[in-house]
Structure 1
């Protein structure tokens, strides 16, 4: 498959400013040297605990926040240093579905106005064509054209997320980033939205980056999975490699917490000690070593590289050096 997106050494560091003059006294290392690729028609999952840098990575890829260093290649073009006007032309190619389907929709606008807004911004579709386009988008996400006259507060959470998906599809994007798109929904509604995303992917050839903490959802929808911890990818591979043969102790701990839909099944729960360290002062050596049940003497002194194992399976751990 064609590589649509390539991220090399992405870093997003937020300055900490103090005093009347706003001196920079430190940095929040939100994303620290993240690299991955996204192929056409593929779904890549970004998973990890809250605060690990998943959402910041997605926003950085979309250039919605400034990046500190690294390259973001879209169709071979480096978009990291593009000016605003050049970047605006690429906005049609990459869209996002936000976590909260209510706060991401303007409560003062009808659904028709919400879906027409991106079309007006890029001068697409006029008059009757625009009405037909909006009706087409609503039908594709399981709503009817009559819903276009309503306001967001008149819909359920699942319906509002369908509207958010329709808005993301309005400009015929190639890449859609889902920032925990089902975490705010009931379990039964989550399944409907996930199946909708899969249907749309097959129909329009979309590539997804799915940001999530629910590993059961990720296993169902993703082709490859990248596990993040404190701003770094610690393991990456196909979902079969990650779920059936995890190599990093952090991945093993995450998977041990996934509920098993069998009351008779037993699973050894791995309980990590301590809290996630501060991204302002990350630990020396391996970032995970203060909580790692398998740490070695070298782990607190050197940072492990991301090593490639069999196939595309990669892990950042001295246990596999």
Structure 2
């Protein structure tokens, strides 16, 4: 399978400045050494609690947030070291669907202007060709031609997210990052958007990175799932392996928290004790050890590395070393 994206030891540290001179006192370790690959036609999911760094990872890949360290290779080219001028042609191939369908659209721009803007910036689909392209995009995402003159406040939440998807498709991308693409929508609308994303993936041979805290969503969407905790990847596996045989205690706790559709089902919950440590001062060794029910002496001293345990099933935990 062709490799599109290769993320190598990606780091994003945000400085915390204090005092009159605004000197850097410490750093927020939002992303700390994340590595993974994305292949053509693949859908991978990044999951974890709020604040684990999954959205920052997506933003850093697109250079919406500047990486502190590491490399992001897109078709062999290192995005992390490029100037804005060098990045511009590649931005056509790398697009994003933002989490909030309300704040991600300019309230002063009509639907037509919203979709025409990226085409004008990159010099694509001008004049009559642009009108045909926009009409085609609206048809693809389930909107009507007469919607072109409407403003964002005249659309529902589900319609706004369809606009966000159409905007991501404007420049014929190869990779789309979906930052919680359905979290702000009603459950019935979520299903429609998920089915739309799957249809578009098959139609245009897209590759997705889906960022979500909802494990039931990524189960239906993704081929592989990456589990993050406090800026680190703790487990990588296919959706089937992850749900049938989760290895990391954090992954097991996440899966046990998924509500059961049967209220009478006797489901064993794994309750984590303690608070999530601060990313300003992450724990030594395994970052999960302060909350881990299987903590060993080595956990607070030695940082576990991702090792393969089973076919393409990677886990960072001393239990398996």
TM-score by length of 2: 0.99
Aligned twin of 1:198:
198
Between the aligned partners of 1:106 and 1:319, the Cα distance in structure 2 is 50
SS of the residue 2:225 aligns to: strand
SS of the residue 1:228 aligns to: strand
Aligned twin of 2:280:
280
Q: Summarize deviations over 1:37-68 as a string: whole Å, max 9, x none.
A: 00101111000000000000000000111111
SS of the residue 1:277 aligns to: coil
Aligned twin of 1:251:
251
Aligned twin of 1:302:
302
Q: What pairs up with 1:168-179 in 2 under 5 angstroms?
A: 168-179=168-179
Aligned twin of 1:166:
166
Aligned twin of 2:183:
183
Asked if residue 32 in structure 1 is aligned to residue 43 in structure 2, the reply is no
User: What's the CA shift for 1:302?
Assistant: 0.8
Aligned twin of 1:5:
5
Between the aligned partners of 2:140 and 2:157, the Cα distance in structure 1 is 18
Q: Summarize deviations over 1:94-114 as a string: whole Å, max 9, x none.
A: 000001101000000000000
Q: Which moved more, 1:125-134 or 1:262-271?
A: 262-271
User: What's the CA shift for 1:204?
Assistant: 0.2
Aligned twin of 1:136:
136
User: What's the CA shift for 1:267?
Assistant: 1.2
Aligned twin of 2:43:
43
User: What's the CA shift for 1:264?
Assistant: 3.1
Aligned twin of 1:123:
123
Q: Summarize deviations over 1:99-147 as a string: whole Å, max 9, x none.
A: 1101000000000000000000011112111111000011000011111
* Aligned length in residues: 321
Between the aligned partners of 1:262 and 1:271, the Cα distance in structure 2 is 20
Aligned twin of 2:101:
101
Moved over 6 A (4+): none
TM-score by length of 1: 0.99
User: What's the CA shift for 1:315?
Assistant: 0.4
SS of the residue 1:147 aligns to: helix
* Structure 1 unpaired stretches of 5+: none
User: What's the CA shift for 1:311?
Assistant: 1.2
* Structure 2 unpaired stretches of 5+: none
User: What's the CA shift for 1:77?
Assistant: 1.4
